[in-house]
Amino acid sequence: MSLTKAQMVTLFTNLVRAEHFGKMMYRRMMQGKLIGFYHPADGAIAPGVAACSFLNQDDPLWPHHRGHGITHMLSKGIDIKYYLAEHTGKSTGCCNGHSGFHYGFPEHHVHLHSGFIGANFMPTVGYAWAAKQRGKGQVVMNCSGDGSYGEGRAHEGMLMAAVWKLPEVFMCENNGYSIFSTFEEMHPTEDIATMAQGLDIPAVVVDGQDVFAVAEVAIAAIDRARKGQGPSFIEAKCLRFKEHDIGNRDLRGYKPREDEEYQEMQKRDPVVLATERVLADKVLSQDEIDGIHEAAANEVADAEQFADDSEIARPTIEEMEAMVFAP
Amino acid sequence: MAIPYVMPKLAMAMNEGTINEWLVQEGDFVAKAQPLASIETEKVAYDVESPEEGYIRFVAQPGDIVPCGELVATFCESEAELAEISAAAPIVGATLANTAATEDALATASAAAVPASAAPAPGVTASSAGGRIIASPLAKKIAADNALDLRTLAGSGPQGRIVKRDVLAALERGVPAAAPFASGAARELARIPMAGMRKTIAGRMTQSLQSTAQLSSGWESDITDLLAARKKFVSREQQLGTRVSVNAFIVKAMVYAIRRVPIANSCQEGDDIVIYDNINMGVAVSLPGVSEYDSGLVVAVLRNVERMGLVDIDREMKALVERVRNGQGTADDLSGATITLSSTAGIAPPGLMSTPVLNLPNAALVGPSTAVEKAVVRDGELVVRTMMPVSFTFDHRMLDGEPAARFMNALHEALENPELMLA
Amino acid sequence: MRELTYINAIREAIQQEMRADETVFMVGQDIRGGVYPHTKDLVDEFGEDRIVDTPLAETGMFGTAYGAALEGFRPIVDFMFGSCAFVNFNETSIMAGQQYFMHGAKHPLPLVMTAAVGMGKRIGNDHAMFIHSTFCRQPGIKVAMASTPYDAKGMFAQAIRDNNPVMIPWHTGVMQKREHVPEEPYYIPLGVADVKREGSDVTVLANSEQLYNALELAEELAGEISVEVIDPRSFVPFDLDTVLKSLAKTNRIVIVDEDWESCGMASTISARIVEHGFDLLDAPIRRVCLPNIPIPGGYMEDYTRPTKEKIEAAIRDVCA
């Protein structure tokens, strides 16, 4: 299937926004203006944009931890300033300053985050089961990296989605690394997709640097699920331009990544590729492209302003104790 | 294999002891017979020697009052075992006394044990005078709420713990609370806690008077001839090596009387009256108190006096009293009396008759006092004789009036006719 | 007077709540067929969509409940055996406990977890181990265990209505106890202890099968020692007030917890009593727990359980 012009514009816009937000997060982390840690998604933003740009508000989403879900959430239409406020410890944050880096947008059906890789496979079963029960055509978008598919949870999640024919899309963003460990060393087959195929889940492998290619298969998978045809698996092979998390060394195995690798990767920068494509296909003019960048820069600046102007969350112990249990 | 070391029972009447001081450090390797600890019983403190060898782990701390037979330390075979046991065992006896309190405790306790040395300042408290009070939290609270001093109580709970019932019982009995004296007109000269030896004496006296059917009788014995005989012994002081005392004669007279009325030399043990063959003479010895105002009292024991001659009795008795006054009384010196002599001669007014208190578990006690020259009738003639008042207390549960009277008479006979006691 | 067994009292609670609220559903392994009586034949009334059997995938099974709870349902997860709740302990304990608080206290997670626990069948550690203390550790999860049929129905129903994760296991040793259970729905609040027998000399805290031991023992000792028996019923929240009120009367307490001694609820209760009721104690607190030994199968199990004899010894110890 081919994408409409409107869809391509949406994808391009979200990609540019994701890039701007990602760079801001990296910069702020280096400036000491973020709480906790940050796992940069530089170079790997295309799959998230593709997966989430065409979801409905009531489609439950588990954002990939890489980039702290910003790519995914902004594509779904969530206002990132609330996430940035959370990540700066402010009471205006999406979790009222309780979490540091968790997502909490229940109105957008983004319910939680977890420090445990592979945690995504647990609640997504329930989201999808609930969606199927409701019968309103909700689809669950479950995004995680290659490392997460080492967990037994991944097997359970896929097995149950398959046996129950749940409306779920497994978006596997395979950037070839889990911290330092390489995919080749940690996985026995060339593609993770074969795991899904082993459970009779329709699976495709796609170039994760090409937002449009990923979007085509994502839209198809979402469609299948919405029609009640069950789960799909998409393996987007993408690239991790930077270290696993800021402050960590960027190793391959236990040796530094080579300069050649960086240089080769840069040639496949997703925004560069997407820009070439929208220009070539005459989807957008350069002016329009510049306008998109400017809007993105403003959006980011507004988010930073909001976060920086907000108060730090300072509840008392008693107030916190009163928030452990729901009334 | 670790060897337990329990609070030794150093005297028949000893129920509990206080660790005044460990004479080794925790973890030291202690050899057999090495001085291990200074332990205070109800009356006296002495240094005990180690019965075992090994690396020592303390279970009881200085100041702890421990019932006899309870664990106070463990001898470990190796340092490894010591470490293991130290890690495994919780600290028994809860809080560790802080160093200052412990030092106070040691200073005061040893002062009480060695009366000859300078007494500590008045106002020293019981807790620093050697002895943590073990009481349940509830008991402490009730006591505090009622201004009741826990130091006045004995505990009936496990390990002698003072528990609620003990406090409630004390309140019901009306044990005077440690309330401050209400009047502003009274100015304190000294404050002496009823602790340590005082507390023991108080307890013993009360127990003796409340748990027996004791009564006292008194008479006068003519010791004119006894004194004349004594004079002869005194003139031979150099030769005999001792200046024979009147008390030595009285002891001899008591031996004579006991041989005639053996039941006077008996003790209550459980439900039995045990009449002893040998005579361990209890001798009441006064001691200095903790201040210049009060005093102490201990019964020293001269053992097997029936075998001793007059001179031996005198010499041994003096040595015994000196030992005891110097705090060097051994366990045997301080326990096992079968009958007791408590003299106030020379201190009390002439002719004093009294009701001395029995030294439990003895059945009898002889209490002579200051003799007086009196006009008495002898063979129809008025003569001047030296008359010594003798008070005799006996326990009517064990001795009836008839044997008591016969004993008194025999004693009287010997006192008036010294040749009888020398026979 | 209608009597129900404990296990059927739970069943009735589930039925009544499921009838009243269509968002309530059950998920577990083999609950349609019903390994235990409380789920048997429920599928006939409620259908396969509300009585859900899953593959042998605890994370997926629990995820079905967890995700559905976040999406507007009120699930009951049945782990079959308590130990199975540890298979995906991150999910059942950490994630469930922190969900509400960590995400801004905005979006509750109403979720009931249940399973069979309990010694007495000589089946060994895997199937017998108690899980309540472990679930008390992670803040955000309520933990309760009912001891009687009457309590079971009321507490289970309350757990289903509670907007928080509630871990409410049940002891196989009490599942056949019978007593009068009202037919109409009723709710017993969580976090409230129950004085099951009044007394004045010593307080005994006991739950599940040990509650029956304590009550029998109290009857035997009547006339000699007056035993007040309290069933805590809930461990989180824990009703310390009822215990302290009892302690003010008796001044002595024995805590019976059929769970390992180390880091069990008995330890936490003891510490809280010392913190808040120190001056009420006339004797040390005694706990009667399992020794820290994996629960043996075979006859060895009998030696490790708290028994009436062990409880009596503890009672006499604190009354000395």
CATH code, B379 = 3.30.559.10
Q: Looking at residue B136, which CATH number applies to its domain?
A: 4.10.320.10
CA distance B276 to A88: 92
Q: Which residue matches tokens 């700066």?
A: A88
Of B138, B140, B158, the CB nearest to C251: B138
Instruction: Map B88-124 to HEC letters.
Output: HCCCCCCCCCCHHHHHHHHHHHHHHHCCCCCCCCCCC
Are B246 and B320 part of one and the same domain? yes
C183 flagged as catalytic:
no
So what's the pLDDT on residue B421? 86
| Cβ distance of C55 and A102 shorter than 8 Å | no
Other Cβ atoms less than 10 A from the Cβ of A124: the count is 30
Task: Report yes or no: A152 at the C interface, CB cutoff 8 Å.
Answer: yes
- Asked whether residue B131 carries a pLDDT value surpassing 80, the answer given is no
Q: Distance (Å) from the C-alpha of residue C249 to the closest C-alpha of chain B?
A: 12
Residues B53 and B164 in one domain: no
The pLDDT score that the predictor gives to residue B174 is 76
In a domain, B279, yes or no: yes
Contact B158 C279 (CB under 8 A): no
Boundary-marking domain end, from B173, B188, B218: B173
Determine, yes or no, domain membership for B138. Answer: yes
Please indicate, yes or no, whether residues B220 and B368 belong to a single structural domain of this protein: yes
Q: Are strands B339-341 and B364-368 parallel, antiparallel or unpaired?
A: parallel
For Cα atoms A157, A158, A164, give the angle at the middle one, nearest 5 degrees.
90
CATH number, position B12: 2.40.50.100
pLDDT for res B178 = 56
Q: Is the pLDDT of residue A37 over 70?
A: yes
Q: CA-to-CA distance for A227 and A63, rounded, in angstroms?
A: 23
* B153 shares its domain with B246: no
Position B337 in a domain = yes
Domain boundaries, given as residue ranges, for chain C:
3-180, 194-319
- C-alpha to C-alpha distance for B138 and B145, rounded to whole angstroms: 10
Nearest CB among B141, B157, B158 relative to C279 is that of B141
Q: Are residues B125 and B207 in the same domain?
A: no
DSSP-derived 3-state class of residue A147: helix
CB within 8 Å: A95 and C103:
yes
Cβ-count burial A222-247 (b if 16+ within 10 Å, e if not): bebbbeeebbbbbbbbbbbbbbbeee
Q: Which of A99, A121, A125 comes nearest C103 by C-beta?
A: A99
Residue B10: pLDDT over 70: no
pLDDT confidence tier of residue B96, bands split at 50, 70 and 90: very low
A325 touches chain C (CB under 8 A): yes
Helices B246-260 and B310-325 cross at an angle (nearest 10°) of: 110
In a domain, B107, yes or no: no
Give the residue carrying structure tokens 């150099």. Answer: B238
The number of C-beta contacts closer than 8 angstroms across A and C is 144
- Please state the φ and ψ torsions of residue B56, each to the nearest 5 degrees: -95, 130
**Which residue segments constitute the domains of chain A, with CATH numbers given?**
5-321 (3.40.50.970)
Q: Domain limits at B44?
A: 3-89
Cα torsion through B80, B81, B83, B88, rounded to 10: 140
Q: Does C282 have pLDDT greater than 60? A: yes
Asked whether the predicted pLDDT for residue B102 surpasses 50, the reply is: no
For C67, the closest of A94, A97, A124 (CB atoms) is A124
C3-180 shares its CATH topology with C194-319: yes
Q: What is the pTM of this model?
A: 0.65
Q: Which of residues 108-137 of A touch C (CB under 8 A)?
A: 109, 111-112, 114, 116, 119, 121-131, 133-134
Residue of B nearest to C285 (CA): B136
Distance from CA of A15 to the nearest CA of C (A): 27
Give the closest-approach CA distance of B138 to chain C in angstroms. Answer: 5
CB contact under 8 A, A126 and C91: no
Question: What is the tens place of the pLDDT at every residue in B292-320?
Answer: 888 889 999 999 999 999 999 999 999 99
Distance of CA A316 to the CA centre of its chain: 34
Min Cα distance C132 → chain B (Å) is 28
Which residues in chain C are closer than 8 Å to B137, comparing Cβ atoms? 278-282
Q: How confident is the model at residue B173 (pLDDT cuts 50, 70, 90)?
A: confident
Q: What is the pLDDT of residue C275?
A: 95
| Average per-residue pLDDT for chain A | 96
Residues of A in contact with C69 (CB under 8 A): 126
Residues in C lying within 8 Å of B, measured between beta carbons: 251, 278-283, 320
Question: Which of B91, B95, B136 to probe by mutation at the C interface, max C CB count within 10 Å?
Answer: B136
Using the Cβ of B318 and the Cβ atoms of chain C, whether some distance falls under 8 Å is answered with no
List, in order, residues 6 or more apart from B322 with CB less than 8 Å away: none
Which among B73, B89, B105 is the end of a domain?
A: B89
Look at C281 and B137 and tell me if their CB atoms are within 8 Å: yes
CA distances from C170 to A180, C13, C196 (A): 46, 14, 18
With beta carbons under 8 A apart, name residues in chain B contacting C279: 137-138, 140-141
Alpha-helical (H) ranges within C37-148 are 42-46, 58-70, 89, 96-102, 125-128, 132-137
- C57, A96: Cβ pair inside 8 Å? no
Mean pLDDT, rounded, for B115-120: 37
Active-site residue identified among C12, C17, C38, C127:
C127
Using only C-alpha atoms, what is the Rg of chain B?
25
Among chain A residues, CA nearest to C108: A326
Domain C194-319 architecture: 3-Layer(aba) Sandwich (3.40)
Which of C283, A164, A106 lies closest to B156, judged by CA? C283
C64-100 tens-digit pLDDT: 999 999 999 999 999 999 999 999 999 999 999 999 9
In this complex, does chain A touch chain C, defined as having at least 3 beta-carbon pairs under 8 Å apart?
yes
Query: If you count residue pairs, one on B and one on C, with CB atoms under 8 Å apart, how many are there?
Result: 25
B94 lies in some domain:
no
Residues B239 and B323 in one domain: yes
Q: How confident is the model at residue B181 (pLDDT cuts 50, 70, 90)?
A: low
Domain match, B124 and B79 both: no
Residues of chain C in Cβ contact (below 8 Å) with chain A: 49, 52, 54-55, 57-73, 75, 88, 90-91, 95, 99-110, 139-140, 142, 163-164
Per-residue confidence (pLDDT) for residue B11, from 0 to 100:
59
Q: In the prediction, which pLDDT does B291 show?
A: 83
Closest Cα in chain C, distance from residue A3 (Å):
31
C258 as an active site residue: the answer is no
Residue B110 has pLDDT above 50, yes or no: no
For residue B50, give the DSSP letter: P
Identify whether residues B79 and B228 lie together within a single domain. no
Answer whether residue B77 is part of any domain: yes
pLDDT, position B128: 32
For the beta sheet containing B29-30, the strands, ordered from the edge strand earlier in sequence to the opposite edge, are B3-6, B71-76, B54-58, B29-30
- Could you tell me the pLDDT band of residue B94, with boundaries at 50, 70 and 90? very low
Highest mean pLDDT among A288-297, B32-41, B264-273: A288-297
How far apart CA B360 and CA B354 sit, in angstroms, is 18
* pLDDT score for B182: 56
Looking at the fold, whether B225 and B361 belong to one and the same domain comes out as yes
The reply to whether residue A323 touches residue C105, judged by beta carbons under 8 angstroms, is: yes
Distance from CA of A68 to the nearest CA of C (A): 15
Transcribe B390-408 into DSSP letters. EEEEEETTT--HHHHHHHH
- Verify whether the Cβ–Cβ distance C64 to A119 is below 8 Å: no
Looking at the domain assignment, is residue B110 inside a domain?
no
Q: What pLDDT score does B99 carry? A: 38
- Are residue B17 and residue B75 in the same domain, yes or no? yes
Give the fold, CATH level 3, of C3-180: Rossmann fold (3.40.50)
- Regarding whether B161 and B44 lie in a shared domain, the answer is no
C43, C179 contact by CB (below 8 A)? no
- Look at B136 and C280 and tell me if their CB atoms are within 8 Å: no
The CB-side HSE value for A17 (13 A sphere, CA atoms) comes to 28
Q: Has residue B112 got a pLDDT over 80?
A: no
Picking from B138, B159, B166, B168 by the largest number of C CB atoms within 10 A of its own CB, the best residue to mutate is B138
Q: In chain C, which residue's Cα lies nearest the Cα of B162?
A: C282
Burial track C281-304 (b if 16+ CB lie within 10 A, e otherwise): bbbebbbbbbeeeebbeeeebeeb
HEC secondary structure over B199-220: HHHHHHHHHHHHHCCEEEEEEE
Q: How confident is the model at residue B90 (pLDDT cuts 50, 70, 90)?
A: low
Residues B225 and B342 in one domain: yes
Q: Report the pLDDT value the prediction gives residue B231, as an integer from 0 to 100.
A: 95
Total number of domains in chain B: 3
Range of weakest confidence among A34-43, A118-127, B13-22: B13-22
Q: What is the mean pLDDT of residues C206-213?
A: 97
Report the pLDDT value the prediction gives residue B32, as an integer from 0 to 100. 79
Task: Report the pLDDT value the prediction gives residue C88, as an integer from 0 to 100.
Answer: 93
